[in-house]
A and B are shown apart, each in its own frame.
Chain A
Amino acid sequence: MRAERKGNMRERRMKSYLDLVPISARRRKRQSRMTRLCIVLAVFLVASIFSMADMEIQSQIRRTQMDDGDWHVMFAGPDEEQISLIESRPEVQTSARYAALNYGLDRGYEIGGKETVICGFDENFDEIMEQASIEDGHFPEGTAEAAVTQSMKRQLGVDVGDPIVLMTPEGEGIEFTVSGFSGDTSMLTSSDAFGIFVNTETYETYFADDTRGEDFALYVKFVPFCNIQKTVDDICGQTGISREAVSENTMLLTLIFQTSNTTMMQLYWAAGILSVLVAAAGILMISGSMNSNVSQRTRFFGMLRCLGADRKQIRRFVRREALSWCKSAVPAGLILSMAAVWGLCALLRYLSPMYFSTMPVFGISLPGVVFGALVGIVTVMIAAHSPAKNASKVSPLTAVSGNAGTTHAVKKAANTRHLHVETSLGIHHASGSKKNFVLMTCSFAFSIILFLSFSPAIDFMNHAVRPLQPSAADLTVSSGDGAGSLPKDLAASIEQIGSVQRVYGRSYMYGFTASVGGETIPVQLISYEKYQFDWVRDDLMEGSLEEAENGDGVLAVYYMNEGDFQTGETFELTAGDRTETVRVSGILSESLFNIQDQSAALICSESLFEELTGESGYAVIDVQFDSDVTDQDVEEIRALAGDGASVSDNRMENAENRGAYYSFALFLYGFLAVITLISVFNIINSIAMSVSGRIREYGAMRAIGMTSRQMVRMVSAEAVTYVIWGIVIGCAAGLALNYKIYDLLISIRWGDPWEFPAVELAVILAAMALSAAAAVAGPAKRIREMSVADTISAL
């Protein structure tokens, strides 16, 4: 009672005709539900895209700062005067000198028999290069101390205060005391190498003479909001350092939109265009829904016109109404997007915990929320433009003529000669008004066009960011001499470790020659075991994999040369004075691993390899781990392999590759899902709206004897007409665009010919067909439950 009085008080204070908007919105909630849902969906999609992009950028910035450093530019080979000029500039926040030696691991500087990278830098270098920070101990002081990588601590068992000896290529030993430890890099672990860090003074003393001029560098971090490109130009002009001697931390500069790298900026442009496309789809969807809403209320608008509302007032009324829906729909869309983003972040962290460790779990992206809300409101305002115009065009006569709700001026009668009357009427409902028909079919076609235009991006991703091969190893144990000196028992022992998922070894033998087609060609022989044979199964061009697996022949890798191998042929394989006759059991299109240049590769079973070469060991043992692998497990394998073997740890590198692929894939597939979702929603919404607009007409039809089954057939015919024409137009334009974009993105770069996008087409067409079925289901239920008496009494 009190609430009612309060409500009445609020209503009594009506001061403008626009106050009718919130009152009307409260009472017509059901009628505007679809439109509000459309707004929620549009805001949800835009906010999710922006939030995800923001999360990704923030995470990448943090990751880049951790991996590549928090510096902006690096000046190679500056002299002391240039350094002091740079450091004195107000734009420079932090700068540090840095020099490195043996970065290519080929100069012969070794500790404990392993190639060692030597780095010298200022103490404040860790402010811009997190990897250089000392985790245990302190920064090396004087010329007798050095910090070393954690891997050295694990492998050589050294601790702070222990002496280490760095062997120079000349065979001299320089002794340092370990002052502390720093983290490993993926480059060092995968190359099975060490790193040693000294201060600038020590570096000058021992290694300056051996270091090339350009390997001395000054790393610079600028103050926030500084125009980096302009400042660097100024510095180059002032100091005389050439622009070529300046390197950028491209990734970081790209992420803060300060790069000079045009390729990356083009990617941002692409992302911007995609958002515009989503917004366009959103506008179409909301506009369609609002138009239907307006067309159902022509009598109301006619009455307002009768009472003296001018066109401008009606337009303002409809726009205000649209804005009032935003009040609840925008926050709802934003909340949904936050939940979705949290879910996606959790998914990424689950898929690649190492790579996405910097991604927040319950982060809220302010730019995402702001853009989502802003784009949502702007989209609604743009979408409201056409309905507002339509509403303002309603004649005041509509209110007095009694013809409200039947404003579609039908010019041509339905053709009932060839089809059942209900089917004919359904088709006629769809195609009766040309403008409506074109709008509806185009909005359906737009989804197909968007989907087909965007799908080549998946192929682009598969080329540009290669997914990790199933055969990619997390850890590779190689025999020091390159020969098959790793015993097979070692593979068995490694397999016993708990976190090891898969172990697979292979052997190589170079120096063979084969006589094929009258020519003698150099050949390398490689042995595979079960897993590796399984992985090449899809690469088999002809012949039998099983024969090779059983030791009855070899698989030749497609060689593209005159003297190529033929399936079934036998040839002579010669090594030194030994010659064996071998049969080709099949041809592979490619090999799992790199093949030595200028030689053909033959793959055989381990038993045949042993028979042909007399070697029983492996040259390489690859290991794949479960996700619960620890550094201790790696050390255990290192211990098992012994000193003679080299162990390269690829886990970090793999995690980086996998992470990059996942985030790219998530973005692309997410976008395709969004397009599909818009399409589904648009179809369901449009049909529901169309039925609502004709519900009185349907009531009259029911009254004169049309069964509910016939009514459903009529609605289905209408839906199918829109969908079929949408598909025809969408496929015609979409396939042409697909071809063109594929050509631009892939064919020009990698030469792959365009293929008919059958899968993509099947997915979007299936989504449209299912949506059409779902779109009919709702109205069908409504028609079945419709009270004929109530509906026609409103006529």
Chain B
Amino acid sequence: MEILKVSHLSKTYGSGEAKVEALKDVSFSLEKGEFAAVVGESGSGKSTLLNCIGGLDTPTSGSVWMDGRDLFAMSENKRTVFRRQNIGFVFQSFQLVEELNVEQNIIFPLLLDYQKPDPKRVDEILEVLGLKERRHHLPGQLSGGQQQRVAIGRALIMRPALVLADEPTGNLDSKNSQDVMDLLMKASRHYQQTILMITHNEALTANVDRVLRVRDGVLKDLGGVRA
């Protein structure tokens, strides 16, 4: 089942001599439960791609279909609600709400959607994240790896169609990086969660389903790497 379809996506910044083509006619799609990685050098356009897929940035041309719906045919407000319900984000710098504890951070997207958190689901996520004992800790009381796990929990709580992870291990040491990768992998396998991850560390792509490379705004599908 196709979850994401990116069709002829282009993004241009500036004009005239200052014109920069960040994305050039990018097209690809992802199936449900697929774990894909986008790799590329710094400035290659991979973050722009992620921002356009997440509806954070508007493409110059092309379209993004998610779960059969055209993201940029929606009004800004509808797109926000759609994002809230269908896309989970994991950032390089965690972006947790410092004032909220682990559990509160995880349920926060539910509250924004005026939903009542299901305690069983919260417990389950905390269990998977290995943070059950730290549910009342504040972000400041956690290690980087633990904070990123909380961010992953927050991305998963809404059962989104797609999780977008932007360099999720960029701020972590190798041990914590591996933990986070294991967790994302677990989500993909265990919950059939579709994940699109951006990374410049090609070593992390060893176990993903597909690798997409972006170079000078052009995307090339390198296909599956998993045995």
Contact B111 A308 (CB under 8 A): no
| Closest residue on chain B to residue A18 by CB atoms | B111
Kindly identify which residue among B56, B98, B104 contacts A400, using a CB–CB cutoff of 8 Å.
B56
- Give the residues in chain B near A306, CB-CB below 8 Å: 54, 56, 83, 89, 91, 95
**A372-401 interface mask toward B, CB cutoff 8 Å, 1 = contact, 0 = none?**
000000000000000000000001110110
- Give the residues in chain B near A23, CB-CB below 8 Å: 99-100, 104
Contact B83 A311 (CB under 8 A): no
**B136-172 interface mask toward A, CB cutoff 8 Å, 1 = contact, 0 = none?**
1000000000000000001000000000001000000
How far is A17 from B104 in the complex, measured between Cα atoms in Å? Answer: 10
| Closest residue on chain B to residue A9 by CB atoms | B136
How far is A787 from B108 in the complex, measured between Cα atoms in Å? Answer: 33
Q: Interface size bucket, B side? A: 35 or more
- Give the residues in chain A near B54, CB-CB below 8 Å: 306
Kindly identify which residue among A12, A20, A26, A309 contacts B103, using a CB–CB cutoff of 8 Å.
A12
- Give the residues in chain B near A312, CB-CB below 8 Å: 77
Contact B113 A308 (CB under 8 A): yes
Using known A-B contacts A307-B154, A310-B80, determine if residue A400 contacts B111 with beta carbons closer than 8 Å.
Answer: no
**A293-314 interface mask toward B, CB cutoff 8 Å, 1 = contact, 0 = none?**
0000001100111111111110
Kindly identify which residue among A28, A305, A400 contacts B80, using a CB–CB cutoff of 8 Å.
A305
Contact A308 B101 (CB under 8 A): no
Contact A397 B80 (CB under 8 A): no
Q: B109: CB under 8 A from chain A?
A: yes
**A3-37 interface mask toward B, CB cutoff 8 Å, 1 = contact, 0 = none?**
00000100110111101100110111000000000
Distance in angstroms from A434 CB to nearest chain B CB is 22
Contact A17 B108 (CB under 8 A): yes
- Give the residues in chain A near B20, CB-CB below 8 Å: none
Q: A402: CB under 8 A from chain B?
A: yes
Contact B97 A20 (CB under 8 A): yes
Distance in angstroms from A489 CB to nearest chain B CB is 85
Using known A-B contacts A8-B136, A311-B77, determine if residue A303 contacts B113 with beta carbons closer than 8 Å.
Answer: no
| Closest residue on chain B to residue A12 by CB atoms | B103
Contact A307 B108 (CB under 8 A): yes
Contact B89 A14 (CB under 8 A): no
Distance in angstroms from B153 CB to nearest chain A CB is 13
Q: B84: CB under 8 A from chain A?
A: yes
Contact A308 B51 (CB under 8 A): no
Kindly identify which residue among B51, B83, B112 contacts A313, using a CB–CB cutoff of 8 Å.
B112
Contact B112 A308 (CB under 8 A): yes
Q: Interface size bucket, A side? A: 20 to 34
- Give the residues in chain A near B116, CB-CB below 8 Å: 15
Contact B104 A14 (CB under 8 A): yes
How far is A16 from B110 in the complex, measured between Cα atoms in Å? Answer: 9
- Give the residues in chain A near B100, CB-CB below 8 Å: 11, 14, 20, 23
How far is A311 from B154 in the complex, measured between Cα atoms in Å? Answer: 20
Q: B57: CB under 8 A from chain A?
A: yes
The listed residue with most B CB atoms (<10 A of its CB), out of A17, A299, A399, A402, is A17
Using known A-B contacts A308-B112, A400-B51, determine if residue A27 contacts B98 with beta carbons closer than 8 Å.
Answer: yes
Kindly identify which residue among B80, B93, B95, B103 contacts A308, using a CB–CB cutoff of 8 Å.
B80
Distance in angstroms from B148 CB to nearest chain A CB is 15
- Give the residues in chain B near A309, CB-CB below 8 Å: 80, 84, 112
- Give the residues in chain B near A26, CB-CB below 8 Å: 99
- Give the residues in chain B near A14, CB-CB below 8 Å: 100, 104, 107, 111
Contact B111 A16 (CB under 8 A): yes
How far is A310 from B93 in the complex, measured between Cα atoms in Å? Answer: 22
Using known A-B contacts A306-B95, A308-B81, determine if residue A397 contacts B89 with beta carbons closer than 8 Å.
Answer: no
Contact A399 B91 (CB under 8 A): yes
| Closest residue on chain A to residue B81 by CB atoms | A310
- Give the residues in chain A near B97, CB-CB below 8 Å: 20, 24, 300, 303
- Give the residues in chain A near B91, CB-CB below 8 Å: 306, 399-400
Of residues 390 to 419 in A, which have CB atoms within 8 Å of B's CB atoms? 395-397, 399-400, 402
Q: B177: CB under 8 A from chain A?
A: no
How far is A23 from B51 in the complex, measured between Cα atoms in Å? Answer: 30
Distance in angstroms from B43 CB to nearest chain A CB is 13
How far is A711 from B112 in the complex, measured between Cα atoms in Å? Answer: 42
- Give the residues in chain B near A20, CB-CB below 8 Å: 97, 99-100, 104, 108
Kindly identify which residue among A305, A311, A397 contacts B57, using a CB–CB cutoff of 8 Å.
A397
How far is A395 from B89 in the complex, measured between Cα atoms in Å? Answer: 15
Of residues 58 to 82 in B, which have CB atoms within 8 Å of A's CB atoms? 76-77, 80-81
Distance in angstroms from A26 CB to nearest chain B CB is 8
- Give the residues in chain B near A402, CB-CB below 8 Å: 93
Contact B57 A308 (CB under 8 A): no
Contact A307 B112 (CB under 8 A): yes
Q: B192: CB under 8 A from chain A?
A: no
How far is A310 from B54 in the complex, measured between Cα atoms in Å? Answer: 15
- Give the residues in chain A near B113, CB-CB below 8 Å: 308
Contact A11 B101 (CB under 8 A): yes
Q: B47: CB under 8 A from chain A?
A: yes
How far is A395 from B80 in the complex, measured between Cα atoms in Å? Answer: 11
The listed residue with most A CB atoms (<10 A of its CB), out of B93, B98, B108, is B108
Distance in angstroms from A318 CB to nearest chain B CB is 15
- Give the residues in chain A near B89, CB-CB below 8 Å: 306-307, 400
How far is A304 from B100 in the complex, measured between Cα atoms in Å? Answer: 13
Q: B85: CB under 8 A from chain A?
A: yes
Contact A307 B56 (CB under 8 A): no
- Give the residues in chain A near B84, CB-CB below 8 Å: 307-310
Distance in angstroms from B92 CB to nearest chain A CB is 8
| Closest residue on chain A to residue B86 by CB atoms | A308
Distance in angstroms from A216 CB to nearest chain B CB is 76
Using known A-B contacts A24-B99, A308-B80, A402-B93, determine if residue A11 contacts B111 with beta carbons closer than 8 Å.
Answer: no
Distance in angstroms from B94 CB to nearest chain A CB is 10
Contact A17 B112 (CB under 8 A): yes
| Closest residue on chain A to residue B109 by CB atoms | A307
| Closest residue on chain A to residue B158 by CB atoms | A308
Distance in angstroms from B118 CB to nearest chain A CB is 13
Of residues 8 to 61 in B, which have CB atoms within 8 Å of A's CB atoms? 47, 50-51, 54, 56-57
Of residues 303 to 355 in A, which have CB atoms within 8 Å of B's CB atoms? 303-313
Q: Could you list some 9 contacts between A and B, CB below 8 A? A: A20-B100, A20-B104, A23-B104, A308-B80, A308-B81, A308-B112, A396-B56, A399-B95, A400-B91
Residues on A lying within 8 angstroms of B by beta carbon are 8, 11-12, 14-17, 19-20, 23-24, 26-28, 299-300, 303-313, 395-397, 399-400, 402
> Can you add 11 more A-B contacts, CB < 8 Å, to A14-B107, A24-B99, A306-B91?
A8-B136, A16-B111, A20-B100, A20-B104, A27-B98, A306-B83, A309-B80, A311-B77, A399-B95, A400-B47, A400-B50
What 3 A-B pairs come out closest when comparing CB atoms? A308-B84, A17-B111, A310-B80
